Chains A and B, each alone.
Chain A
Amino acid sequence: MDFVETILNLDRRIIYTIVALLVLIPLIKPFSLPIKPTPEVIGIFNEIDRLEPGDDILIAADFDPASKPELLPMLEAVLAHCFERDVNPHLLTLWPSGPGLAQQAIERQAELYDKKSGTDYCFLGFRYGNVAVILGMVSSITDTFTTDFYGMPTRNMPIYQDVSAIRDMDYIIDIAAGATVEFWVVYAAEQANVKMGASCTAVSATSYYPLLQAGQITGLSGGMKGSAEYETLLSGKYGVPKGDAVKGMDAQSAVHVFIVLSIVLANICYFISLKREDEERRRA
């Protein structure tokens, strides 16, 4: 069997091994490629950075552990940004398996910045009903979430003395693994006339470019790359240590390069084999 045939019949376990090594090696020994923030991510960063201390931001963490590497770093970075600016985050999730990760993120960041639940931030937890929940919050947040995640009545919280509905928010960001971005844009941001940003998985980022171009969202962060860009911006301005997204970018770069090179190589071999078959047919 010559080189071309060997490549075309390559055992998939070899590919799996190479991918595993390309993920592991950069994680163990990073080569720290520079991360250049894109205008899409800067669009979210600048809007949050423009908020004054005491302003309120609604953060929807609509994702589950499957999207943790892509979206949890973004959630942590946005929360750190809010606490750096003394902005009050109101965190919730529309995904049943979302509260666990959101709880970890907000508790970790609140502890780092010494922030108090109910005063400096509120973790509303999960409510069933997607659009019904959003529309409920457009009318009244404390009626829709009568208690926070920990069972404390929201109506008595200091954070809700000046905030009653989504229209009182100064910015909305949906960190989403599914299609909830469109719900938040249509039913919250547009109805309450509040600016909004979106962070989503890399695979769904392409769907939101029309919203970005129409100005319905001020910025868009796609996948782990978007999270890494946000971490880079946050680190550059406030000195916040870079998180897991930046650490993962080298591994992602290595695997992407490998996949592209393997596609090119496989196609070259494919065309050589076609040419050979053609020649053999002509000879016969």
Chain B
Amino acid sequence: MLFFKRQWPIIIAFVMGIVMWARFYIPTEQSQTLQDEFMRWARILFGFAAMLGILSLLHHHWNKIKLKRPGYGFSVVTLVAFVIMALTGLLPVNWSWLGFAENLRSSHGPHMYMFEHMFVPMQATMFSVLAFFIASAAFRAFRARSIEATALLIAGCVIMIGRVPVGDWLASVTTVEMGSWGARSLINFPYVTDWLLNIPNAAAQRGIILGVILSQIAISVRIIFGIERTYMGGGD
């Protein structure tokens, strides 16, 4: 049994890794068919992964309720909401007696009604609260304590003004005729914002992307050759 627990996943990872890598360099119809088949398998596996996630969620909250751990009331809400949303989305029940459309996928069905009138406002509220926290945190913690912090502060402020219409408005009201140079804006936040985004930001992002891709290649090679085994659990 230890073979299926330890060696078998490594063999699968090795064979699939090598086959999919080699396939990329073989531009034939058979190779494309092979990829299509594997992608179909992958989509099925993703479905099972989603199911596993749902079971894990249910198990976690059920245990919390059973043991009456602190905050178990929230788990009750989670489970009740989960069951109602799932049932209204899956069961082929005619909900027209409640004033909803018969079709489950209709935007006037109960599932979509709850999505639109409960899920959307609640998630939007959670996200919009960030605006208040950011304003408060920026006021309290954004200090020019070092050269790096000052550079970040100045860049942040310039981009915050340069990326909203008030930046364009400021640029237009401070435009003056400067002889042979033509009309120039004295306070041009959008221009500086463009420069910041296209030069220093793009350069840094390029470095980050290269670093991430190189790391992905390294980790893929480690998984294919069985050096990296943390994906099997156990942390070894």
Contacts and interface: CB of A to CB of B under 8 A. Distances in A.
Interface of A: 10, 12, 15-16, 18-20, 23, 33-36, 38, 64-69, 96-97, 100-101, 103-104, 107, 127-130, 132-133, 135-136, 139-140, 143-144, 149-151, 202, 205-207, 209-210, 213, 222-223, 225, 228, 249-250, 252-260, 262-264, 266-267, 270-271
Interface size class on chain B is 35 or more
B157 A135 contact: no
A136 B43 CA distance: 9
Interface in B155-205: 156-157, 160-161, 163-166, 168-169, 172, 190, 194, 197-198, 201-202, 205
B139 A132 contact: no
Contacts of B169: 33-34
A71 to B, nearest CB: 12
A107 B139 CA distance: 43
A189 to B, nearest CB: 16
B142 A266 contact: yes
B95 to A, nearest CB: 17
Given A136-B43, A253-B164, A10 B124 contact: no
A262 B107 CA distance: 44
B144 interface: yes
A65 B123 contact: yes
Nearest to A206: B201
B197 A202 contact: no
A68 B105 contact: no
A69 B124 contact: yes
19 contacts: A12-B136, A15-B132, A15-B139, A19-B135, A35-B165, A36-B168, A67-B127, A69-B124, A100-B115, A100-B119, A100-B120, A101-B120, A132-B42, A139-B32, A139-B39, A150-B105, A151-B105, A209-B198, A260-B157
Contacts of A253: 164-166
A209 B123 CA distance: 28
Given A65-B124, A129-B46, A210-B202, A259 B135 contact: yes
Nearest to B50: A128
A136 B165 contact: no
Contacts of A260: 157, 160-161
Most buried by B among A67, A255, A260: A260
A104 B107 contact: yes
B165 A255 contact: no
Interface of B: 32, 35-36, 39-40, 42-43, 46-47, 49-50, 103, 105, 107, 112, 115-116, 119-120, 123-124, 126-128, 131-132, 134-136, 138-140, 142-144, 153, 156-157, 160-161, 163-166, 168-169, 172, 190, 194, 197-198, 201-202, 205-206, 208-209
Most buried by A among B36, B140, B164: B164
Nearest to A252: B164
B209 A270 contact: no
Task: Pick the 10 closest A-B CB pairs, nearest first.
Answer: A132-B42, A33-B165, A129-B46, A65-B123, A66-B127, A209-B202, A253-B166, A65-B120, A253-B164, A128-B46
Contacts of A100: 112, 115-116, 119-120
Contacts of A252: 164
Nearest to B150: A267
B123 A64 contact: yes
Contact of B205 (A16, A104, A209, A259): A209
A111 to B, nearest CB: 11
Contacts of B140: 12, 266
Nearest to A228: B165
Given A135-B35, A260-B157, A270-B143, A213 B202 contact: yes
Given A65-B119, A66-B127, A100-B119, A225 B163 contact: yes
Nearest to B47: A128
Contacts of A151: 105
A129 B124 contact: no
B201 to A, nearest CB: 5
Contact of A136 (B40, B142, B163): B40
A23 B142 CA distance: 22
Contact of A34 (B107, B115, B168): B168
B136 A15 contact: yes
B45 to A, nearest CB: 8
B132 A34 contact: no
Contact of B165 (A66, A249, A267): A249
Given A104-B116, A257-B166, A260-B160, A266 B139 contact: yes
Most buried by B among A65, A144, A151: A65
